[in-house]
Each structure stands twice: as C-alpha cells, then as structure tokens.
Amino acid sequence: MSDNRIVVSGLSKNFGSVRAVQDLSFTVEPGRVTGFLGPNGAGKTTTLRMILGLVRPTAGTATIGGQRYLDLHDPLRRVGALLDASAAHGGRTGRNHLRVLCAAAGLPRRRADETLELVGLVAAADRPIKGYSLGMRQRLGVAAAFLGEPPVLVFDEPANGLDPEGIHWLRQFVRSLAAAGRTVLVSSHLLAEMQLMADDVVIVAGGRTVRQGSVADVLASVTTSTVVHVRTPDADRLHRALADAGAAVARPGGDRLTVTGMSAAETGGVALRAGVELHELRPEAADLERAFLDLTAGKAEIR
Ligand SMILES: Nc1ncnc2c1ncn2[C@@H]1O[C@H](COP(=O)(O)OP(=O)(O)OP(=O)(O)O)[C@@H](O)[C@H]1O
C-alpha cells in the first residue's frame, strides 16, 4: 500500500445552475476513518462520484494514490465502493450477485462466500435480493465493495437502513479496515454515529467545506459555548450569584439550573463563594450533532 491517500483539490461540480460542489479540498489518510458529513443536498454523493470517476468535475481534481480513478490500472482491486445499495439485480441471490462480480473482477469465487460470512449474510445468501431488507442490501453492498480486499474504501451512507446491531457491526468493520491500514471514506448524516466511527471529519454544507480535522479538534473548536447543568437546594441564590458573575442562567424547573457562558469549574467557584450547596455539577458533553448543527446552520437548505 504505497500511497493510498485520497486527495480532493479545488473540486467543483455544477449541474446547470445548481452548484452542487464548490471548491472542495480535503485529504483522506490511510489507516484512518474519515467521515464525510453534511445535510441533505450538501454535495456528498456528487463528491464521492467524482472521486470514483462517475461524474466529471467542472473544476479541480480528485486522486487516489496520485492518480485519477479513471487512470488506475486495476481500479476494482485498488478501490472498493458502496454507492447505491439498490443497484443489485433483484432476481439474483446474494451469493450469485457476488460471484458475478468476482468473475468480472477476476477474483476467485470463494471470495463471494468469504465476504458473505464477513458481513453476516450467510443465512440469506441463497435468497433473491429483491426479498432483502434495506439493511441486508447495505451489507451486500459492503461485501461487494470488499470482494477484492482493496486498500481504499468509499462508502456512501452505509448505515442507512441498518438496525442498531447492524450499525454496531458496521462500526466494528469500518474500524477494522482502518486498523489494517486501509483508507476509508464514509459519508453520513448520522452524526452521532460518525463521532464513534471516524477519526477525521470533513463537514460540508451547501457544496462547501465548513470544517475539517480530527473529530477531537472539530469538537473542541465548536464547544466554546459550554453548557453546565447544576442542581442545588438553593436555586434562587445561585441563580443571582451566577447572573451577577455574567453567566446566562435558565431554570428548567425544580432545583435545576442550566448555565451558559461559564465553565463547570467557574460555576463551582461561584457557588462556593456564594455559600451554596451543590447536588450536581455537570458540563454538557460535546457532541458532533451539536457541532454540526452550529456549523451548518443557515447553509443547510436543500438547493
Ligand atoms: N445528476 C444531477 N443533475 C442535477 N442535479 C444534481 C444531480 N446530482 C445531484 N444534483 C444536485 O446537486 C446537489 C447535491 O446533491 P448530492 O446528491 O451530491 O448531495 P448529498 O450531500 O449526497 O445529499 P443526500 O444526503 O440527500 O444524499 C443537490 O442540489 C442535487 O439536487
């Protein structure tokens, strides 16, 4: 696996007057899972299709190991992709579908059985695909992408239609691909899921990048407005003390206060100085969902 980096540079795509992707640049590193996040219509699928040579960019380039997909010598063994899980021929069985793909790619037939096992579809392998649930089709699509054990994998919304057990399986599988040194790009609008699955994230909205970096850095960069949850038997006094110290305080009811604009440590300090007893002092956990909403607010309209 010499260089299996995906490099997207100044990539743009217009469909008539629709600017689906605008000047997008990011790098997907081997050995890491990169989450490609954005609301509906953000341009994710169009970008993935440009990386895979299925859509011609209006401007910019997308390369895999320094070459455009269309210039790769053995693309099926270099890059595995799941784009549209409903693309398989409904009349075929899952096993036959994978065997046909093996034959087309010059892979041994046993890879069909091995990947069926890997994605947990052995029990349904000899049933026609038209009877598969969406989640089963996703698993079959993942199996198809991994037939040639390629070093680079691109999955468009692979978690769609999966039940919680399926999502757990997908997360483990995707993480194991990266742990083995593969380059993994996964698009999603399931942000909480990406928080658990991805090492890096690229967040797009309205065809543009709004933030990219490691999950930890992106979270840190958007958690300036900390929210702290407090419980105290002396809510009125603490409320006054916090307001005097410059915090915004909401009263969700009873003995509870929600403090904005002050860290948990500062809130505890104010309580101590005011002589107020605390029963709970809890900073709200930062999550990607909130970061995403903050970042894409106002840019998320479907064009
Ligand atoms: N072939 C096409 N012809 C015309 N417009 C298109 C075409 N493909 C995509 N678009 C438009 O480009 C924009 C981006 O679409 P794209 O499918 O890339 O977004 P997405 O982020 O994958 O969205 P979703 O999460 O809904 O799948 C949308 O406005 C869409 O309508």
**ipTM score of complex:** 0.95
pLDDT at 40 over 90: no
Whether ligand 1 lies within 6 angstroms of the CB of 46 is answered as: yes
Residue of the CA atom closest to atom 6 of ligand 1: 15
Q: Of all residues in the chain, what percent carry a pLDDT higher than 90?
A: 67
**Which H or E element spans position 139?**
helix 134-146
pLDDT value, residue 287:
65
pLDDT value, residue 190:
75
pLDDT at 278 over 80: yes
Whether ligand 1 lies within 6 angstroms of the CB of 206 is answered as: no
Asked which of 78-82, 83-87, 229-233 is least confident by mean pLDDT, the reply is 83-87
C-alpha span between 78 and 58 (Å, rounded): 25
Four-residue CA torsion sign, 68, 74, 80, 81 = positive
Q: ∠ at Cα 31 (29, 36), nearest 5°?
A: 50
pLDDT value, residue 303:
47
- Cβ density class 190-212: b for 16+ within 10 Å, e for less: bbebbbebbbbbbbbbbbbbbbb
pLDDT value, residue 1:
44
Mention every residue, 6+ apart, whose C-beta is less than 8 A from residue 247: 259, 260, 261, 262, 266, 267, 270
Residue of the CA atom closest to atom 28 of ligand 1: 41
pLDDT band at 26 (very low <50, low <70, confident <90, very high): very high
Whole-number Å distance, alpha carbon 16 to ligand 1 midpoint, is 12
pLDDT at 86 over 90: no
C-alpha span between 259 and 267 (Å, rounded): 8
pLDDT digits (tens, 9 = 90+) for 92-144: 999 999 999 999 888 999 999 999 999 999 999 999 999 998 889 999 999 99
Residue of the CA atom closest to atom 13 of ligand 1: 20
Whole-number Å distance, alpha carbon 87 to ligand 1 midpoint, is 18
Nearest-atom number in ligand 1 for the CA of 303 is 29
Residue of the CA atom closest to atom 14 of ligand 1: 43
Whether ligand 1 lies within 6 angstroms of the CB of 267 is answered as: no
